[in-house]
A and B are shown apart, each in its own frame.
Chain A
């Protein structure tokens, strides 16, 4: 499984766009990039998954450059309720899955 590196923490203000970058230099050809959100004492919640270029859904966008060695989760116009830990995972959509340390995002009023 590819190792991922994310910033430990980030601060933002309500209404701003937040971009969280994840590095995964050893990503394999058949690996996908998946992001989860976790609130304290709750299970992680799936946000988005992508393989290359850009993926967008109703809550976020995921940008993946051509070399796929990094990815950026973009949260548009964050609110206080987006304060959480965000995890980047890289794997082949099967079997073992390793969560890294995650990025603690704090949104301030």
Chain B
């Protein structure tokens, strides 16, 4: 079954404690992307990757890092989380950009 898997689904952490949200896809997609969704602000793109070792900033990259060492995985790293990064995060993958992107189940992150 084609899917994008995010882990963890829920996470409560404290300010400053480094964390990683993993994203894995089984469709051999070249394109992957991370979004955050906040009430009243819709979905905002954080980072995207066009292929292995190729990443670029989206609209809200501050405070986040990503890496794309292999095609199937695209982890999102928060080196020093802050409360304003409390949000619902989605990972997506597709064969090409906006076309038929598959989204993960979401990760609800709370930073206290």
Using a CB–CB distance below 8 Å, which chain A residues touch chain B?
A: 32, 34, 36, 41-46, 49, 87, 89, 91-102
A45 to B105, CA, bound (A): 11
The total of interchain contacts (Cβ-Cβ below 8 angstroms) comes to: 71
Q: Given A32-B98, A42-B106, do A96 and B42 touch, yes or no (CB 8 Å)?
A: no
Which chain B residues numbered 58 to 104 have a C-beta less than 8 Å away from chain A?
A: 58-59, 88, 90, 92, 96-104
Contact in complex: A92, B97 (CB < 8 Å)? yes
Sample (22) of A-B pairs whose CB atoms are under 8 Å apart: A34-B99, A41-B108, A42-B105, A43-B4, A43-B92, A43-B106, A44-B103, A46-B102, A87-B42, A89-B98, A91-B97, A91-B98, A94-B31, A94-B97, A96-B58, A97-B48, A97-B98, A97-B101, A99-B35, A99-B45, A100-B42, A101-B42
Using a CB–CB distance below 8 Å, which chain B residues touch chain A?
A: 4, 31, 33, 35, 42-45, 48, 50, 56, 58-59, 88, 90, 92, 96-106, 108
